Amino acid sequence: MARLTLEKIKKIYGKTVAADIPYLEIKDKEFFGLLGPSGCGKTTTLRIIAGLTKPDEGRVLLDGKDITNVPPEKRNMAMVFQSWALFPHMTVYDNVAFGLRLRKVPENEIRKKVKWALELLRLEGLENRYPHQLSGGQQQRVAVARAIVIEPQVLLFDEPLSNLDAKLRENVRFELRKLQKRLGITSIYVTHDQAEAFAICDRIAIMNKGKIIQLGTPEEIYNKPVNLFVASFVGVTYFIEGRLTEILDPSIGKVLISTEDGLEILAYADLERVKKDQKVTLVVRPEYVHVASESNVENVFLAKVDRATYTGDGIDYEVKIGKWPIRLKTSTTYKFEPGSEIKVHLDPMKIIVLPEILSSE
């Protein structure tokens, strides 16, 4: 069992709060993500878990046992570094065997385990190469092999794919997730790439300025962002500011939002968080917007086409309803010219209503 808990963790450098986490629990066998922009504290948190950085306050618990004062070399957690940190003066075999040798595992055992790890990561035949003789993708796999071969209780990943090219990154993501599910090791993955986190992780904590802003599954975070920061960090987002002028059906949260330039938009809101006459911001993602059809009655607006970008599989339109720019994507059957006016439908069931206003950032 490897359940990880962080309690009241604080780490401050000078005047900057690097990490401030009152409570975080990562479940056994979970693939947990720490997502956020650079400097948000995700790597600091990972390093605190690994024991490479000591927190100023707080405790780290593994299966309920306090390991805050256990030195990193005794924690039995393996980390895959952003730069992979392969020992340049050792062969692939020696790199992977390193942790096992330190644990005084007998050599024939080591041979078997290393072989297993290399096969798992498709690195057979490369045992005697040196890191500089390998491609980026291969080096990355050696780093993973080195981590899993010691059968750690927790696997830590610090942006391990950022040095790979985009195409490779996509493939490796799935492989990592497959591997983790197969081995069943509790894993924590740090990244600034939202798509990566969504593809790999079971649950994600979005961090900013050292604090966890939202914790949830990828679906929860995408569809129910808790504030503007999270909404704009995940996916393509456009905002429309307005005021909640009418509550149409309190039992299901159906409301009417009015903008200052006279648009009236239908949406569904959490009435615990927003009240009548409150200033709100609507999150409108391209997939909430469609070319209006005959059957659409509500939320149909006249939009001026600003720009059309051909993306191969369709066309991306940047349009304006009133003074608000939004985006939508259509198939190539529609070919609207910039400057023309079209009718668009905003799906009221999807629009997200947030109690913040943009200017308060």
Give the binding-site size for another protein (rule: CB under 8 A): 22
Q: Is 335 in the site for another protein (CB under 8 A)?
A: no
Nearest-angstrom CA–CA distance, 347 and 291: 11
Query: Which range binds another protein by CB under 8 A, 95-103, 107-115, 119-127, 167-175?
Result: 95-103
Determine, following the binding rule CB under 8 A, whether residue 105 of this chain makes contact with another protein.
Answer: no
131-160: which residues touch another protein (CB under 8 A)? 146, 150
| CB-CB neighbours of 138 under 10 Å | 17
**Residue ranges of the alpha helices (H) in the chain?**
42-50, 92-102, 107-120, 136-148, 166-183, 194-200, 218-223, 228-233
Instruction: Point out which span in 97-105, 193-201, 266-274, 292-300 binds another protein (CB under 8 A).
Output: 97-105
Q: Which stretch binds another protein (CB under 8 A): 55-63, 86-94, 159-167, 257-265?
A: 86-94
Q: How far apart are the first and last CA of the chain?
A: 42
Question: Among 33, 36, 41, 99, which residue sits at the site for another protein (rule: CB under 8 A)?
Answer: 99
Q: What's the Cα-to-Cα distance from 175 to each of 75, 99, 143, 159, 196, rounded to whole Å?
A: 26, 23, 14, 15, 12
Side chain identity, residue 280: V
What strands lie across the sheet with 65-66, from one edge to the other? Answer: 16-26, 4-13, 57-62, 65-66
Q: In angstroms, what is the minimal distance from the CB of 157 to another protein? A: 12
CB of 77 to another protein, least distance (A): 7
Does 50 contact another protein by CB under 8 A? yes
CA distance 278 to 293: 32
Q: Which of residues 181-210 bind another protein (CB under 8 A)?
A: none
Q: Which of 13, 23, 63, 103 binds another protein (CB under 8 A)?
A: 103
How many other CB atoms are there within 10 angstroms of residue 305's CB atom? 17
Look at residue 340 and give its three-state secondary structure. coil
Q: Are 11 and 34 in contact (CB under 8 A)?
A: no
Rg (CA), the chain: 25
The nearer residue to another protein, 65 or 89, going by C-beta atoms, is 89
Question: In this complex, which beta carbon is closest to another protein, that of residue 96 or of residue 344?
Answer: 96
Q: Whole-number minimum distance, CB 98 to another protein, in Å?
A: 6
Taking CB under 8 A as the rule, does residue 267 contact another protein?
no
Q: Which stretch binds another protein (CB under 8 A): 66-74, 134-142, 194-202, 352-360?
A: 66-74
Which residues make beta-bridge pairs with 275? none
Q: Between 133 and 171, whose beta carbon lies closer to another protein? A: 133
- Asked if 79 touches another protein (CB under 8 A), the answer is yes
Tell whether residue 162 is a contact of another protein (CB under 8 A).
no
CB of 21 to another protein, least distance (A): 21
Parallel/antiparallel/unpaired status of strands 16-26 and 4-13: antiparallel
How far apart are alpha carbons 259 and 93 in whole angstroms? Answer: 64
Binds another protein by CB under 8 A, chosen from 6, 18, 48, 77: 77
Per the CB < 8 A criterion, the answer to whether 206 and 35 are in contact is: yes
Residue whose tokens read 């895959």: 80
Identify the residue among 4, 40, 67, 78 touching another protein (CB under 8 A): 78
Binding site for another protein (CB under 8 A): 50, 52, 71-74, 77-79, 81-83, 85, 87-89, 98-99, 102-103, 146, 150
